[in-house]
Amino acid sequence: MTKVVLKSIGTTLLAIVLLLTMAFAVLSLVFPSTMVEACSSLGLNGFAARYAAIEYSRTAQAKDIAQATEYAIFAEDDALIAEYGASFLADEEFDSFCQTEGAGYAQYIRGQIAGALYRTGKKDEAIAAAFDGNTKSFPQGNAIISLSVVAIDAKDKVTCAAILGKLNEYHVSEDQEKDLETIKSLLKEIANE
């Protein structure tokens, strides 16, 4: 009798586990946006980023790849930041989406992407990502500064020299000159060591 009861309990538990697994799989495939929210609320930012990327592949909306990039940043996963960030930068709605998010958002995202590209060994792509969004001005906290700080911290002479070379061609307004000169002097210290 005890064996029958234990066998019934075991079978029931196995059936429940299988049903929950199937429900999770169906939710993951059919409702990735729901899974983004669920993973985010649990602090599983890497998973939330992946589900947001799945949602982007289905919708092709900039908000979804932006969300994937942001969750990758929260997860501090450089490979995901570089992958999803590259897709976000390539999205034709990147500029208009960033404008809706407010001042500084585009520079923040570009800076995070540039840093991730640098840390994953794609230094030329990192420099391109940082400079692409800064052709006409040098705002505070821009992506070039973010990448410069990463390269300075790594004491990377080659990258610091490359950034410095591009910055030497920059012409900025008077109010931006101080920030530009500050970062250039810090880059020179490393490049000339």
Each domain of the chain, given as residue ranges in start order, spans 102-193
> In the 3-class helix/strand/coil scheme, how is 20-71 assigned residue by residue?
HHHHHHHHHHHCHHHHHHHHHHCCCHHHHHHHHHHHHHHHCCHHHHHHHHHH
Span 52-81, average pLDDT: 92
What is the C-alpha to C-alpha distance for residues 69 and 84, in angstroms, rounded to an integer?
5
- The model's pLDDT over 73-122, given as tens digits with 9 standing for 90+, comes to 999 999 999 999 999 999 999 989 988 998 789 889 999 999 999 999 99
- Compute CA 53 distance to the chain's CA centroid, rounded to the nearest angstrom: 12
How confident is the model at residue 134, as a pLDDT? 74
Query: Is this structure's pTM higher than 0.95?
Result: no
Block residue for tokens 């792509």: 125
* pLDDT for 186 beyond 90: no
Residue 175's pLDDT band (cuts 50, 70, 90): confident
